A and B are shown apart, each in its own frame.
Chain A
Amino acid sequence: MTPDDRENLIHRHLDGIATAAEIETLSHLLETDEAARVRYLELSRLAAALRCDLRLRAAPLVVTVVPMPAPPRVAPRPAPGWLAAAAALLVCAAGIWWSLRQPHLSGPVIAEVTAVHDARLAGVGPAPVVGERLAMQELRLERGEITLRLDSGVRLEFLGPVAAEFEHAMRLRLDRGRLNADVGDRGKGFTVVTPSGNVIDLGTRFAVDASGPERAGVVVFSGQVQVQPLSRQGQPGTKIGLSEGEAVQLVRGASPERWQSVPLRASPAEALAAGGRDDVSPLAVHDNLADAEQRRFYGVVRGGMVPGARAFTGVEAPAWQAVPGLSFPEELVGADVVRTFLTDKRRVDFTLTLALDGPGYVYVLHDIRRPPPAWLAHDFTDTGARVECGPWDPQVNIVASDAPPRGDRVFLACSVWRRVVPQAGIVTLGPPRDPGVPGRNMMYGVAVRRVP
């Protein structure tokens, strides 16, 4: 019998699934082989400890969400008669003893439910309701979304499915899933731990996507965070700072990679989108910026093109609007929006690559005050449709005398250019202006409508 066979035999007996013949073999082995007895006792003592001694110690580590006040946990299979009562007393005494002995093991974190959408939490009966206060340590959100506000002021929006655990009120372990975090002043230092690295907040709004295998995306919407990648062995590496408009992918044992296409929700305030990775990342976006320190991201909003859709990453106010007196171009409505960077408006060597997963139409929304760059005029067709982008403050440097204010704000007209993409593939967009073109201009917008 090999050591592996022996090991399997012992485990099968411990789990109560060994056959009569296997038990006979194991009995003979234990009668005659001291090494087998030692191994058997090691494993059986471990199983015995898990069965009884550690019950109360481990229970607080794995309790899911319970309404406040937390109901006492009841032993699942009571022993008969006086022994059961005695055991219950013993269990309670041991629990108190343990809690007094282990002050470093923090208790559940108190959180108030501030929003719920189709949420199903594992191990919990009815779904929590807004306003309910929960004592929680482990969170297993099977589907839907739930937003919690901790007593520290930290606001966490979980996008299911999520497997997470509060190690304490300022530290969350996110094993799987996505969250949007809005950390107030009192929550500065709040840390999200993932299998690929840690995210330490410096007072900001950020999001973490640990839904993919072996990597975690971190995106900063405002303020700053520090990210700390982990080595293959789990040792924390050097921290790097991330600022508003930047995103990286943490890959265990590797340097952080820039995360260029971030799936966002269709709302003016930036937030990671819910749903599966494939559902919310209709296209991959990459630019040609070679700067290794460059970590900015492009927000991709599936079906987000409607009047009022936010136009740029990192700038909240300007949105795509209908030109007064005209309706919003129908063919744009419901297209995916790529929120470009306004700061690229003057680059003449810029390219933006879109990888489409199927046939569709790519739209470029070009500042009508300037002639279309050669690549746009060559590869795209002017649809004749027009939209506006605004409002802009009249003082911003893209606005000039050729964009008169409407009231105290400026709106810039854009032409809508279309390119048909017959099948899945790559579409490369060029710079927003050709070299030598005078005057100020706005960075173009991008929309993609996929053909079902």
Chain B
Amino acid sequence: MRLFLRYEPEILRFVLAIVPQLPDARDIVQETAVALWRRFDAYEPERPFGAWACGYARIETLRFLRRAHQRTQLSAQAALALMRSESARAGDDELREQHLAECLRALPLEHRRLVTDYYFEEKPVEALAGEHRRTIEAVYKTLQRIRQSLLKCLQRKMTEART
């Protein structure tokens, strides 16, 4: 249990990269937790728990995608290709998160408010459109621009940190 708690954010992040809808991702993480609980006897303590747990998350994610293929999810083949690319990336999550926090703080207040409402408070876009007096499409466009802006900022900071 303690190990799972420690690695749960990493597992969730892994799943979210393939299945971006949070309720679906949480379901997958929960299925993963159940699978880990059942198979914990097979875990060898000398192995990294995160990698072992993500192996089960990968299975549960693909299982979910095959089940959900008809309701607007990526194909299992696309997910497998993403997982292969994902496994090749650098493990610099902590530094990225630190930089991302700085980039968030630099956003204009209205954009930060939108990030808060959408990502942290999980408000539906329809409600945000009403609160911000904008169309739903405009809110999605703004979110798109915010993500692009954050990514640009993050990449700049990562490049600066490496040089």
Contacts and interface: CB of A to CB of B under 8 A. Distances in A.
Interface of A: 7-8, 11-20, 23-24, 26-28, 30-31, 34, 37-38, 40-55, 57-59, 61-62, 76-77, 79-83, 86-87, 89-90, 94, 138, 140, 163-165, 173, 175
B120 A62 contact: yes
B135 interface: no
B82 A41 contact: yes
Interface of B: 1, 4-6, 8-9, 12-13, 16-18, 20-23, 25-26, 29-30, 33, 70-75, 77-78, 81-82, 85-86, 89, 93, 96-97, 100-101, 104-105, 108-110, 112-113, 115-116, 119-122, 125, 140, 143-144, 147-148, 150-151, 154
Nearest to B115: A50
A26 B21 contact: no
B30 to A, nearest CB: 6
Of the candidates A27, A82, A140, A164, the one having the most CB atoms from chain B within 10 angstroms of its own CB is: A27
Nearest to A59: B120
* Most chain B beta carbons < 10 A, residue from A26, A28, A49: A49
Contacts of A76: 121-122
A61 B85 CA distance: 33
Contacts, number: 165
Contact of A47 (B86, B89, B104, B147): B147
B151 A23 contact: no
A271 B19 CA distance: 54
A51 B16 contact: yes
A48 B16 contact: yes
A89 B5 contact: yes
A50 B74 contact: no
Contacts of B20: 13-16, 44, 47-48
Contact of B105 (A23, A26, A45, A61): A61
Nearest to A58: B104
A90 B96 CA distance: 20
A34 B82 CA distance: 9
Nearest to B85: A37
Given A41-B82, A45-B13, A62-B112, A30 B105 contact: no
A90 B104 CA distance: 22
Contacts of B86: 41
A23 B74 contact: yes
Given A41-B89, A46-B100, A58-B116, A90 B16 contact: no
